[in-house]
Amino acid sequence: MNPFLTKTRTLFAMTIMIAGGVSMAGAQPAEAEASVDAGMIAVNPLALEPAPNELSHSSDLALVEPDMVSEPMVQDVPETPPAPAAKPAKESPFVIKRVLPIDGPIKYGEWYWDDEGVPAGPLVMTVDLDARVLSVFRNGYEIGATAVLLGTDEHPTPLGTFPILTKEKDNVSEKYNNAPMPWTLRLTWDGIAIHGSPVANGYASHGCIGTPDDFAEKLFAIAKKGDKVIITRGKMIGLGDKII
């Protein structure tokens, strides 16, 4: 017999008798039962114990958690617009992109011309007094070059930048005995111009820039009023250099 249950039952019975006014010292068993019947409800102490199969322990309890179902979720990520492409630097028409392949110095009377495949663009002419050469550039490409006649110390060819003022195909000099000046590109109002002339060693001009007639004709055909002629002394320029 379980001693724990026996002790519990004895204590429970004593509690009932005391509550019913029964003295444990001198009461008879029959009277005790009557007192219990008269004022108390009999309680079976065994009924207070849970049935063996009703006992529960924390270890027997299982926590039921709701099923968490995770589903893959694809989230649209906004596309970052591409950065605008950098605009290519605009090429200057006044930067030298090509020079004519000429071997050695240009001799008097020689000239070169090659404008095949050269894109349209501004025309600029350079004249260097030390080199005694006139070069023609279109859109930065040298298309023509020739040796030239220049002025003397008494009648020098001026330095500077000069726009073409007028074009005169069959011009003659009013100052110098009606000397022929075909294909004239006038640079100043006091008589300085580019024009056709015999170009030979030992000859000079009165300040004008004389070129072979055939070269002067080609230049006259493409030049227009406002195109610039740059006259320098001893200035060397090459590929990638600015003309103006």
| pLDDT (0 to 100) of residue 177 | 83
Instruction: Collapse the DSSP code of 165 into the 3-class scheme (helix H, G, I; strand E, B; otherwise coil) and give the result.
Output: coil
Pick from 144, 145, 211: nearest CA to 184 = 211
Confidence (pTM): 0.63
User: 155 an active-site residue?
Assistant: no
Give me the residue spans of the domains in the chain: 3-60, 111-232
* pLDDT score recorded for residue 7: 44
> Rounded to the nearest 5°, which phi and psi values hold at 215?
-65, -45
Q: Which residues contact 96 (CB under 8 A, 6 or more apart)?
A: 137, 140, 142, 237, 238, 239, 240, 241, 242, 243
* Active-site residue, from 57, 155, 206, 208: 208
Q: What is residue 54's DSSP assignment?
A: G
d(CA 243, CA 238): 9
Q: Angle at which helices 29-39 and 3-19 pack, to 10 degrees? A: 70
* Rounded distance between C-alpha atoms, residue 188 and residue 216, angstroms: 18
The low-confidence residues of the chain, meaning pLDDT below 70, are 1-78, 80, 83, 85-90
Q: Given strand 209-211, what is the order of strands in its sheet?
A: 166-172, 180-186, 193-196, 209-211
Under CATH, which number does the domain 111-232 receive? 2.40.440.10
Element at 123 (helix H, strand E): strand 123-128
Q: Give yes or no for a contact between 210 and 181, defined as CB atoms under 8 angstroms apart.
A: no
- Whether 195 is catalytic is yes
Taking the C-alpha atoms of residue 147 and residue 133, their distance in angstroms, rounded to an integer, is 5
Q: What is the pLDDT of residues 177-228, one digit of tens each?
A: 888 999 999 999 999 999 999 999 999 999 999 999 999 999 999 999 999 9
So what's the pLDDT on residue 4?
A: 44
213 CA to centre of own chain: 52
Q: Which of 57, 155, 195, 206 is catalytic?
A: 195
Distance CA 21, CA 2 (A): 30
Sheet holding 228-232, edge to edge: 111-113, 141-147, 133-138, 123-128, 228-232, 160-163
Q: What's the pLDDT score for residue 78?
A: 65
From residue 146, alpha-carbon distances to 96, 100, 107, 219 in Å are 18, 11, 8, 11
